[in-house]
Structure 1
Amino acid sequence: MSVLRERESTGVGPVELFFDLVYVFAITQLSHFLLHHHDLAGALEFAVLFAAVWWGWNYTAWAANWVDPNHRSVQAFTAVWMFASLGMAVAIPEAYGDRAWLFVASYLFLQLSRGGFMVWAWRGQVMSRNYFQLTTWSAIAGIAWAAGLFVPDEARVWVWLAAVFLDYVGPRVSFWLPGLGGTPMSTWPLSEDHLAERNRLVFIVALGESIVILGATLTGIAFTGGTIAAAVLGFATIVALWSLYFDARLGNAEHERVEVENATQVSRSAYAYAHALMVAGAVVIAVGVELVLAHPWHTADAATIATVLGGPAVYLVGNLMFNRAISGRLAVSRLVALACLAVLALIGLVLPVLVLAALALAVLLLLSLAGSGWFRLPSASVE
């Protein structure tokens, strides 16, 4: 019995949902890391860790397009990859310190073992060559990840930033290797609707972290007018983000299948890259919810402004990239919203945190109303 899927099979298997459970914990760890490293340096460190966690999940989601989720060997290896992902998540709080080795070892094991499995699964076919080149790029990036273990803690983020660059640039250059060339997108047969569903599910996981933070924070603080207002605003922000993400016109709602010949190229841009920003935005919004709850009437400082407004902004940039990949158009409404958030950032230092969060929510609500048909801004074609 082959470990590969039947071509017409595109459903998400139970083992894929099981795999995502560890990313519930990983997203919690990432949001807490950002909350406890709430400055520019911490934001960079968070971005590097998030990029690695996302790439591990993303490559596994892509591999699941081609393997049978009901095959025993696929289920066994998925459990192994899940354990490696757990190792990454456990290491996150001390990833730039005593547990850097655990983060790197878990990440590299996840990437290289999965790549090796896919080379074997596709043996004798073009996709085996493709995965060999992908895994080689993961190994090259792995040298930089490992090198980061041997530099001072304060310099580690810069070495790992180079490793992230290598990981993310690989698909953009078709995993080109000397003497072998690249792997043309046409040689990666893909079902775009499977990836669309996988990304919907992981985005829900990211929104779930906002709910957990909101509920956990409320259980430990006194109820005042400010905290109640902050809780309402936080919950409304989560709902607005959910509404925007599943918007039928500009969100990742179910849509017509992308043409087979374009499916891989579209999916690479829409899911591997654009969704990285969309999910990251949801995680940052979760941190913003906690900051507003903690000090609703404090005047916003630069770090708080960057978090409360940065989460929606990062999401909207990702959403722009997503729509450009899917439809070839730029949503003017998202550009207008980003401009509004930029204006809020300029005046944020004189506003209470609660007011700043309310204005950010207003921007998201206006976008949601636009998507529901109350009014619309045009989209611009992109050549």
Structure 2
Amino acid sequence: MTVDSAPTPGPLNPPAAGAPPAADLADPAELRVSPLELFFDLVFVFTVTQLTDSLAHHLGAAGLARVLVMLAVIWWMYDAFIWLTNAMPPTTHPRRGLLLLGMGGFLVISLSVPHAFEGSGVAFGWAYLLVVAVHTGLFAAAGVEFGPVLRMGLLNLVGAALVVAGGYLQGTVQLLLWMLAFGLQFAIPYLVDLPSFRLRSGHFVERHGLVIIIAFGESVIAIGVGAGDTDLTGTLVATAMLTLGVCVALWWAYFGREDDEHAVRFMAGLDDARRNHLAVRIYNLGHYALLLGVILFAAGAKTAVAHPTGTLGTAEAGALAAGVTLFLAANTAIRRTLGLTPLLPRLTAAVLAAATVPLGTGVCALAQVAAVLAVLAAALAHEELRPA
């Protein structure tokens, strides 16, 4: 949650006591993502990899439920750090040090993901509590009104307490407590004075775009893991290239028509209340769905590349198709909210991608991947060729 610019300190506008450094008060359009934020994002690469691997090894209802919940609680706080660095750029050594401490907390969370429901939930919970404490402490010094920051911090601490308690209890009770923490996230934006956290739209949109690129990197990693050390046959190379083609098509769906630049202009034109609530809908909830779609696709793609001429199990073929379908559906909903068109080609592609499951289970993995890519290519080509 972020602070827009105030009048530049000078002879006619002396800085208030306790005000943020002058570097924080620059034109919001000039705030760019810092190298430390990019470094911070490297931990999220590992998080997405861990979640994908966990899902691939437990590709059933229970495994999916666990990944849904873990991704939700992790993404809530990770996104909260995007709001934080938007409000208070890491321009001083104390800020950088605390941000790196939070980065360490996310690393421990990621390390504990594979066995979070089998004994590592305690480490997950305490690292999560550390992340919440660092975030709240830094936000308290960001120049935002103390009341909203206090309420936000206390509510996040309640969520962290549920995660910590669940880690000690394990099993179904653990899942239920973590689901309660997940549910609390929907209420928090309405329980704090959200307009107090003013956004710098350019930085905010750019940061979320970089997170999506990082998530696509997991799909590329899945291709490599799936191929392993097997011989590079023509079929394997073809499947790997087609899978990469699907990643490129999803990238194009997000970035290819300069939707991010439109999003910056659209959000900058809103008042604080509408902009912030829209930011929660699009960049927390909407991007949660996008990330989950990438994880599902990567989990299915890993098996597809490993066995290109063999048939896939229903779970693997379903994950591959569902990932693309969910990503397109979420992307279409976001574009509709931003007033972008067309929408029908992507919705049609989402439905057709879901229909490719029988190809994976009845023909071979290569056939399903090729069909998914063909559907995406047709939809995106139609958008490019249609009259403006």
Q: TM-score, normalised by structure 2?
A: 0.86
The 3 A distance-change label for structure 1 pair 101 and 150 is closer
1:163 alignment partner, one of 152, 157, 181: 181
The 3 A distance-change label for structure 1 pair 234 and 170 is same
Per-residue CA deviation, residues 257-305 of structure 1 (Å, 9 max, x unaligned), is: 2214143233222211111111222222222221101222333322012
Residue of structure 2 equivalent to 1:263 = 275
1:292 alignment partner, one of 291, 299, 304: 304
The reply on whether 1:325 has 2:337 as its aligned counterpart is: yes
The 3 A distance-change label for structure 1 pair 370 and 330 is closer
The SS at the match of 2:310 is coil
Mapping of residues 182-197 of structure 1, within 5 Å: 182-183=192-193, 185-197=194-206
**What letter is aligned with 1:369?**
A
The 3 A distance-change label for structure 1 pair 239 and 82 is same
Q: Partners in 1 of 2:81 and 2:157 — Cα distance?
A: 16
Mapping of residues 223-302 of structure 1, within 5 Å: 223-248=232-257, 251-253=259-261, 255-257=263-265, 258=267, 259-261=269-271, 262-302=274-314
The reply on whether 1:79 has 2:71 as its aligned counterpart is: no
**What letter is aligned with 1:276?**
Y
The 3 A distance-change label for structure 1 pair 131 and 196 is same
Q: Partners in 2 of 1:216 and 1:302 — Cα distance?
A: 21
- Of 287-296 and 146-155, deviating more is 146-155
Residue of structure 1 equivalent to 2:82 = 61
Residue of structure 1 equivalent to 2:54 = 33
**What letter is aligned with 1:8?**
D
Q: Partners in 1 of 2:129 and 2:166 — Cα distance?
A: 13
The SS at the match of 2:232 is coil
Shift of 1:91: 0.6
Shift of 1:110: 0.5
Residue of structure 1 equivalent to 2:40 = 19
Shift of 1:348: 5.4
Residue of structure 2 equivalent to 1:135 = 153
Shift of 1:60: 0.2
Per-residue CA deviation, residues 210-261 of structure 1 (Å, 9 max, x unaligned), is: 2222234434112234322211211111111111111226x43565522141
**What letter is aligned with 1:80?**
L
Q: Partners in 1 of 2:239 and 2:331 — Cα distance?
A: 26
Shift of 1:105: 0.8
The 3 A distance-change label for structure 1 pair 190 and 204 is same
The reply on whether 1:105 has 2:126 as its aligned counterpart is: yes
Residue of structure 2 equivalent to 1:146 = 164
The 3 A distance-change label for structure 1 pair 240 and 328 is closer
Contact 1:3-1:121 within 8 A present in 2 as well:
yes
The 3 A distance-change label for structure 1 pair 118 and 33 is same
- Of 211-220 and 195-204, deviating more is 211-220
1:118 alignment partner, one of 139, 146, 169: 139
The reply on whether 1:95 has 2:116 as its aligned counterpart is: yes
Shift of 1:341: 2.6
Contact 2:139-2:149 within 8 A present in 1 as well:
yes
The reply on whether 1:375 has 2:375 as its aligned counterpart is: no
The 3 A distance-change label for structure 1 pair 89 and 368 is same
Gaps of 5+ in 2: 1-17
Contact 2:118-2:170 within 8 A present in 1 as well:
no
Gaps of 5+ in 1: 176-181, 379-383
Q: Partners in 1 of 2:182 and 2:223 — Cα distance?
A: 31
2:69 alignment partner, one of 48, 56, 65: 48
Per-residue CA deviation, residues 327-373 of structure 1 (Å, 9 max, x unaligned), is: 277822222122213433467543322212211112221232133x2
Contact 1:94-1:100 within 8 A present in 2 as well:
yes
**What letter is aligned with 2:385?**
W
Contact 1:190-1:260 within 8 A present in 2 as well:
no
Q: How many residues get paired? A: 363
The 3 A distance-change label for structure 1 pair 99 and 139 is same
The 3 A distance-change label for structure 1 pair 28 and 256 is closer
Q: Partners in 1 of 2:347 and 2:263 — Cα distance?
A: 23
The SS at the match of 1:65 is helix
Q: Partners in 1 of 2:105 and 2:181 — Cα distance?
A: 19
Q: TM-score, normalised by structure 1?
A: 0.87
Report the identity percentage.
25
Residue of structure 2 equivalent to 1:178 = none
Contact 1:323-1:329 within 8 A present in 2 as well:
yes
Q: Partners in 2 of 1:134 and 1:333 — Cα distance?
A: 40
Q: Partners in 2 of 1:197 and 1:219 — Cα distance?
A: 34
**What letter is aligned with 2:186?**
Y
The SS at the match of 1:64 is helix
Q: Partners in 2 of 1:51 and 1:73 — Cα distance?
A: 29
Residue of structure 2 equivalent to 1:343 = 355
The 3 A distance-change label for structure 1 pair 256 and 54 is closer
- Of 213-222 and 44-53, deviating more is 213-222
